[in-house]
Structure formats: C-alpha cells, structure tokens
Chains A and B, each alone.
Chain A
Amino acid sequence: MLRWSIEESNRTVEMRALADRSLDPVLPGGSALLDLVDAVLLGAGDGDAARSAVSERFGSGGLVRAAGVIGNFEMMNRLADGVGVPIGPSTLKTEAKLLASLGLDRIAH
C-alpha cells in the first residue's frame, strides 16, 4: 500500500528509514509521524513532543488520523498473527528485495 500510494502521487519515501531511524524518510513530516509511532509502541522519546510535532505539521485532524492508523494496525497485526494469514509465494518473491532491505526476511510469514 505504501509503495502504491507514493507511486500514484509522485511522492518519495526512503523505505529503509522505516526500519532504520537514523535515515531520513524524505517524505515531509515523515520523521514526526515515525516518532509518534515509536513513542506509542516503543515508549521512545517524549510522547507529548511527538504529538505536538505531528499536530504542528499536519493539524489536529492529522494527529487524530495518525493515532487511528496506529490503533488500526495494532489490531490488524494481531488479527494476522492470531489466525496465520499467509503471504502468497508470489508476493514474497516480488517483494524479496524490499523485505530484505527492511530486515523483514528474517520474520517467518
């Protein structure tokens, strides 16, 4: 979905920055969004500062939206893990380079 959305909108995202936080995601405001996710899931950094940064960059609607997406994918990840939703062999093959660059090839799917 991420790759499709950036291709459709002619935007740029450094995908490796999703896994390696020392890298610049390039997408404007991307670091603020990643900081918010890290604050919620990892307890990293200052949560209030992360919320303020997202709100300043994207407005209050953007903050609510980001919080909703975090919550939604906390749910989706548990649904997929709990029931064992398989990744198709063709997807694993076509996305092999991306998975490796993000370090996801070590995860059993």
Chain B
Amino acid sequence: MTFEPLDGLPGAEPDLAASFRAEWEFLAAPGTWLTGDERVAVAAVARAARSGDPIPKTALDAVEDDVAITLGRTPGVIRADVVDAWYRRGLVVERYIEMVGIASRITAVDSFHRAMGLPLEALPQPMDGEPTRIAADPSARRTRRSYAPTVGAPQIVTVLSLVPAEQAAWIRLSDAMYMTFEAMNLPGDQRGLHRSEIEVVAARTSLINECFF
C-alpha cells in the first residue's frame, strides 16, 4: 500500500490519501504522449532537481532532461524564449505539456510531505503499454500569449487542456489539496483553516516562487 503514513494521520481526510494514490497510479501508467517509463523518469528528475539531489540518469533525451530539471528546480525562469529554445531543440509541445503536468504534481505531493515532516513516497514502478495519443480538438486550440496551445483562452483553468488527461489530473489533485472550483466561492472555514488563512499560505508560497497569477 502506498502513502501508508497518511492513513490515520490526525486531521487528514480520506480523500487526500485517495487522491495521492490515484496520482501514483496515473503517473505509473502510459500517458497520452509519454510511456510509463518516461513519466516516472520525468517525476524522478523533477523530484531530484527540487530536492537538490543528484539528477538520476534516465531514458529522457537531453532537452527533456533540461525541461524536467527546470520545472523542478527553477520554474520561475521559464519564459517564452526559453520554451522556444526547447522547441528548436526538438521538444514536442504535447509531450511538453504532459511533462509540465507530471513535474507540477510530483512537486505538490512532495511538498505536502515536506510540510508534514513525512518521508517522500517512493516513486511507483512504471507500467508497460503504449501512450493513448488522445489529443485535444485541434480546431479549439488557442495560443494567444501562452507558450503552448490551450483549449479556450489561456488561463489557469485551461492550462493543460492541450492534453485532457493531464488537465483532469491536476484538477483532481487540487480538489483534495486546496479546494474545488465550487468551494472557491466560500469565504469561511474550510477543513481546519479559515479561507483568509488558506490564502495567506497560498500567497506566501506563490511570492517565494515569484509567481503571480
């Protein structure tokens, strides 16, 4: 069983451990554009980069290695020219979006564990199989002012919509770790903290990461 320390953890609601377990299963399985091996490799490289550990050697090519390291360690340096340079080196946009999703979610799970003083969960064993290659509707893609197409206007709620499975995965995790879109209209107490206290934590985290959206 994965994430055993969360079972019976005082104050933790069951959906949190369930969301982490669902994320681990999703991470290990073949994705939309990456194999299970490649997905776990992205997670391993991003985790090591975020932790300041030696970067493991994986099957990722040089540019995808750079992408995973940057997403883990210094996401604030990513600008249009940085992403364009990655594209010129052969990075495929759909694979990039999948990597953004994986690196972001492994960081979320790991940062939760760091905040709780818990050891990081071992990464899952990759599953065999081929990527699904289920793409977003090409006619619905928009690229205005973002580094990759989105379905609809580029904003945080559409950020990974080019790869629908990745879009669904971050929302699933955010629902358990932060709140659902419906709950965002509630200004009062939510699971142990008042909304203002939640947003103080969110704002300080984003400020340290030099991210404002």
A74 touches B170 (CB 8 A): no
B187 touches A8 (CB 8 A): yes
B25-33, B36-44, B154-162 - interface stretch = B154-162
User: How many residue pairs at the A-B interface have CB separations less than 8 Å?
Assistant: 250
CB contacts (< 8 Å) of B160 on chain A: these are: 79, 83
Q: Mark A80-109, 1 if CB is under 8 A from B, else 0.
A: 111111110000000000010010100111
B73-81, B123-131, B132-140 - interface stretch = B73-81
Nearest CB of chain B from residue A67's CB, rounded to whole Å: 4
Name the residue in A33, A64, A82 with the highest tally of chain B Cβ atoms < 10 Å from its Cβ.
A82
CB contacts (< 8 Å) of B105 on chain A: these are: 75
Residue in B103, B114, B178, B211 whose beta carbon sits within 8 Å of that of A72 in the complex:
B178
A48 touches B117 (CB 8 A): yes
Question: Interface majority SS on B: helix, strand, loop or mixed?
Answer: helix
Closest to B205 in A: A73
Given A59-B192, A102-B207, answer yes or no on A27-B11 (Cβ-Cβ < 8 Å).
no
Q: Mark B185-213, 1 if CB is under 8 A from A, else 0.
A: 00110111111111111111111111111
Confirm or deny: A68 has a beta carbon within 8 angstroms of a beta carbon on chain B: yes
Nearest CB of chain A from residue B144's CB, rounded to whole Å: 8
A81 touches B78 (CB 8 A): yes
Confirm or deny: B83 has a beta carbon within 8 angstroms of a beta carbon on chain A: yes
Given A77-B205, A81-B211, answer yes or no on A72-B145 (Cβ-Cβ < 8 Å).
no
B146 touches A84 (CB 8 A): yes
B184 touches A83 (CB 8 A): no
Confirm or deny: A69 has a beta carbon within 8 angstroms of a beta carbon on chain B: yes
Ranked nearest first, the 3 interchain pairs of A and B with the lowest CB-CB distance are A61-B192, A60-B11, A67-B115
Which residues of A are at the interface with B, using a C-beta cutoff of 8 A? 1-2, 4-6, 8-9, 11, 13, 18-19, 25, 27, 29-30, 33-34, 36-42, 47-48, 51, 58-87, 99, 102, 104, 107-109
Q: What are 15 A-B residue pairs whose CB atoms fall within 8 Å in the complex?
A: A6-B199, A13-B196, A63-B116, A71-B108, A71-B111, A74-B111, A78-B75, A78-B104, A79-B159, A80-B211, A82-B104, A83-B148, A86-B154, A108-B79, A109-B213
